[in-house]
Chain A
């Protein structure tokens, strides 16, 4: 039992489901009048289905598509193809029209594919070079460390600055950890190690810029880009690590210890302000020993919670206990 490939218009894949096997649907041209006799005289369907009980659907589909693309049955002398057009040769009807268009599309797709691959060839070559360069710079860096080779202090510093200027994410590091997100997850865990103690020393809260400086100083060589830091910090909560990223209404981002409760700090802030009658962010920062940025955020949070109100004048922005609510 055979059907000539030239009868095929196109094929469809149907994935396996519960209780049904994988299938390939083969859409066919109408049967030529001079076809050889088969199991049936005619059929109301214009397609057949091939069922793959165990496996083989993908492979078969691929090979069939290849054959459809190559159309080897057409690789015959021109004269014969012309004859086929006149419909005299059995099983060799060649339809122009849709099939012709499909073929053109397929050729165009292959061409594009080829162009893209060529373009990326250069890029993958570059990646390989970059890898080599990173290895090289690493080995030199190690040599510097071990003080092997005749390198002066100045040259060391100069070399280190070259590394810094080009040495953002080490491509190898990224690859090692797979996709960006995996990388950020690992990074997030690393951050906990670096930041735990400094955070405790800073009252449990630090601005992201402070963290950025601290982390890159600690790493020394493979510096983090701000984007990588932010993305890693965004994962802290999800990974249930003892730190978290918090974004205030003003857009200021901070890292807090999970145990840190900013809302509770607000209560003590209110006490401080009440004691002094009123305070500006700078005065408050000085009193409590915080950065002005974080001091302002705390006062703003207290205002948002209704504990403080503001006096905004030419003299500056001062915060008062919210007597509107308490004295009514």
Chain B
């Protein structure tokens, strides 16, 4: 368990692990689950996961309380996250997924802000530079996983603020406008 991760009060509340039939109650429950999943993945720097891993992870399985969220309910939580833009299925059979504690558009905005602020519009960067370069050490997106970064840049590309290019044999880069 990563240091400093504080479980929310719901995690110790047995009904949290039963999908509530009352619609209003369920809404609150699912919101709490989404929040928990995102903060858990953020702290553990986990961006990709399979559903099987999730089932056994302490995230959905509170051993001490002897409660685990059933897989059908996990699917519902994941669907909520997908609808909010924080999750993307990586395969058709919905067995593994990408979890982004910030939505790609939000990351794109942060990156673009940094690019503009440091006056580097019209420059080209490799993906590695963006996430691991010295210049970005203080930035939130420093250390961001490639999958999420790519999606962030794609969002910017849609807004015509960036263009993803191939550099060299298999490298990728991005040009900002």
Contact = CB atoms under 8 A, between A and B. Distances in A.
Interface residues of B, number: 17
B78 to A, nearest CB: 20
Interface string B26-39: 00110010000000
Given A306-B24, A313-B67, A327 B18 contact: no
Main secondary structure of the interface of A (DSSP, over half): mixed
B29 A324 contact: yes
Interface stretch (B7-15, B113-121, B131-139): B7-15
A278 B28 CA distance: 20
Contact of A311 (B15, B25, B28, B32): B15
B20 interface: yes
Contacts of B22: 303-304, 306, 309, 322
A311 B17 contact: yes
Chain A interface: which size bin? 10 to 19
Contacts of A328: 28
Contacts of B67: 311, 313
B28 A318 contact: no
Given A324-B32, A327-B9, A312 B18 contact: yes
A318 B13 CA distance: 12
A320 B21 contact: no
A309 B14 CA distance: 10
Interface of B: 9-10, 13-15, 17-18, 20-22, 24-25, 28-29, 32, 66-67
B17 A309 contact: no
Main secondary structure of the interface of B (DSSP, over half): helix
Which 6 A-B residue pairs are closest in the complex by CB-CB distance?
A: A311-B14, A324-B28, A309-B15, A312-B18, A311-B15, A324-B25
A271 B78 CA distance: 35
B15 A320 contact: yes
B25 A313 contact: no
Interface in A29-59: none
A309 B20 contact: yes
A323 B13 CA distance: 9
